[in-house]
Amino acid sequence: MTVGAVVITMGNRPDELRALLDSVAAQEGAPVEIAVVGNGAPLPALPAGVRTVEVPENLGIPGGRNVGIEAFGPGGGDVDVLLFLDDDGLLPRKDTAQLCREAFAADPELGIVSFRIADPDTDVTQRRHVPRLRASDPLRPSRVTTFLGGANAVRTAVFQQVGGLPDAFFYAHEETDLAWRAQDAGWAIDYRPDMVLHHPTTLPSRHAVYHRMVARNRVWLARRNLPAPLVPVYLGVWLLLTLARRPSRPALKAWLGGFKEGWTTPCGPRRPMKWRTVWRMTRLGRPPVI
């Protein structure tokens, strides 16, 4: 079971990037191949043996990660499993890659593993980083219906079967789009709290495009993947939840603008999931309406 790692960077965190690469290189077992993508920025000096790709413009998170996948051959086919790690993260344990090998080897239906993200100083995991509705205990492993974009492992056979991440999303919900397509193809997703990425505690709203792209991409996600009767239910639930959170006036304006944009712009190919996939997700505790 061969393992690679994809890291995208905008070149603004060279010290954190080097620390992450050192933590990957320190993994036990066979060496993990690494590909670093300069996403619209030149790359700093990197350790020997690291595969490097520089793209002239920022392709966004899914676009940059897709470039990293292809650095391992079509669909990442040079390796069996790819780790996707944020460039300001760190693997505190040396057995994470080996745990991935064992997990995928033991379960041929396992397509994706979501890691636990923890603050490096407190080891606290934010509730939003537990990819299930019952998130009060971040140390409980479970089968889930989505995963964390910057701390995960994906069997490359998943990409070869269902395709990569949706480039046009740029930021937000790209991992859920892949998760839904993977589950519709029969793959399973696990949340493993023993596979840890240390990452500073931050808020996603720090990104200027957050509110617009979260809303736009949620509409695209529904239009691309859900059976027609569930599209208005899913989006109606999220509209009510957004209003209930009482965002600031500028945030709500950006969110509503993105919501409109999601309906008026192309979302990519529509491939609605099977109703049995809806039922499977419902049995796991998260039907695709929330």
In this structure, are residues 224 and 270 in contact, taking their beta carbons and an 8 Å threshold? yes
DSSP string, 100-124: HHHHHHH-TTEEEEEEEEE-TTT--
Based on the domain organization, do 194 and 210 belong to the same domain? no
Task: Give a yes or no: residue 194 inside a domain.
Answer: yes
Based on the domain organization, do 164 and 46 belong to the same domain? yes
Task: Give a yes or no: residue 284 inside a domain.
Answer: no
When divided into structural domains, the chain yields a total of 2
Based on the domain organization, do 100 and 239 belong to the same domain? no
**pLDDT score recorded for residue 130:** 97
Based on the domain organization, do 244 and 264 belong to the same domain? yes
Using the 3D structure, point to which of 170, 202, 234 is the last residue of a domain.
Answer: 202
Return the bridge partners of 8, or none.
Answer: 37
The band of 49, judged by pLDDT with boundaries at 50, 70 and 90, is very high
Q: Is 270's pLDDT higher than 80?
A: yes
As a whole number, the mean pLDDT across the chain is 96
The boundaries of the domain holding residue 79 are 3-202
* Amino acid symbol at 74: P
**pLDDT score recorded for residue 205:** 58
What is the pLDDT averaged over residues 56-82?
Answer: 97
Based on the domain organization, do 249 and 150 belong to the same domain? no
Task: Give a yes or no: residue 288 inside a domain.
Answer: no
Based on the domain organization, do 156 and 240 belong to the same domain? no
What is the tens place of the pLDDT at every residue in 156-171?
999 999 999 999 999 9
Q: Which residues contact 241 (CB under 8 A, 6 or more apart)?
A: 290
Q: Give the three-class secondary structure for 55.
A: strand
Based on the domain organization, do 125 and 94 belong to the same domain? yes
Structure tokens at 12: 């603004």
Task: Give a yes or no: residue 281 inside a domain.
Answer: no
Based on the domain organization, do 93 and 236 belong to the same domain? no
Backbone angles phi, psi at 268, to 5 degrees: 95, -175
In this structure, are residues 150 and 85 in contact, taking their beta carbons and an 8 Å threshold? yes
Based on the domain organization, do 104 and 230 belong to the same domain? no
Based on the domain organization, do 42 and 153 belong to the same domain? yes
- Per-residue CA distances from 24 to 44, 96, 134, 154 (Å): 17, 9, 31, 16
How far apart, in whole angstroms, are the C-alpha atoms of residue 115 and residue 190? 9
Q: Give the three-class secondary structure for 39.
A: strand
pTM of the predicted structure, to 2 decimals: 0.96
Structure tokens at 65: 């990660």
* Amino acid symbol at 123: D
Structure tokens at 15: 């010290």
Task: Give a yes or no: residue 13 inside a domain.
Answer: yes
Based on the domain organization, do 149 and 21 belong to the same domain? yes
**pLDDT score recorded for residue 290:** 85
Q: Give the three-class secondary structure for 6.
A: strand
How far apart, in whole angstroms, are the C-alpha atoms of residue 251 and residue 69? 34
**pLDDT score recorded for residue 206:** 55
Token look-up 């589950």 returns 183
Using the 3D structure, point to which of 158, 183, 202 is the last residue of a domain.
Answer: 202
What is the tens place of the pLDDT at every residue in 207-253?
568 999 999 999 999 999 999 999 999 999 999 999 999 999 999 99
Angle between helix axes 174-184 and 275-283 (nearest 10 degrees) is 110
Helix (H) or strand (E) holding 130: none
Based on the domain organization, do 27 and 166 belong to the same domain? yes
Task: Give a yes or no: residue 110 inside a domain.
Answer: yes
Task: Give a yes or no: residue 285 inside a domain.
Answer: no
